[in-house]
Amino acid sequence: MFSGLDPTRIVWLASQFVQPTCGPTAFIGEIDDGSLYDALGLQTIDEAFVGSYGTWKKKGDGKVNLIFTSSDIKDVKVVIHSGGKTIAKVPVAAGGRATWNSTVAKLEDKTLYLDRWRPNFIGIPGSGGGSLLLWVPRASRGGHLTLHVRINVS
């Protein structure tokens, strides 16, 4: 239809991207209950958060609970990003535990990204070691996300 108006085929190219990528999301519906790996695509990169796990429920109280458990020998700070913006910095003592809570409504339809800041051998904090990433979906019936974050030495 646009071939006469689009000799460069840019509009056609855009239509091929928008339809398969953006179109079906309106028909998918809500994400089913399950583990964060299966339901929300939880991924860890490198060693810092290996062993992290959790669950998603599409019907719930609307809370997001992160429980940090450290096996690291140094105090660390976990920086939490949502939708590309830093939203919290959680200090976790060496060998300790910490929690952070939010709501599904504040985080929905965005990625939740964690990185660990840990002092190096001369005491300067750096973000090396790894990261954790997952998607927080929309939930019309509240939803509930629990993530057990393992903080490892790396």
Locus of tokens 């990625």: 111
Question: At residue 69, what is the residue type?
Answer: T
Q: What is the DSSP string of 50-63?
A: TT-EEEEEEESSSE
Domain ranges within the chain, ordered by starting residue: 1-30, 31-151
Q: Any idea which fold 31-151 has?
A: Immunoglobulin-like (2.60.40)
pLDDT one-digit tens code per residue, 26-80: 445 678 888 998 888 899 999 999 999 999 999 999 999 999 999 999 999 999 9
Please state the pTM of the whole predicted model. 0.78
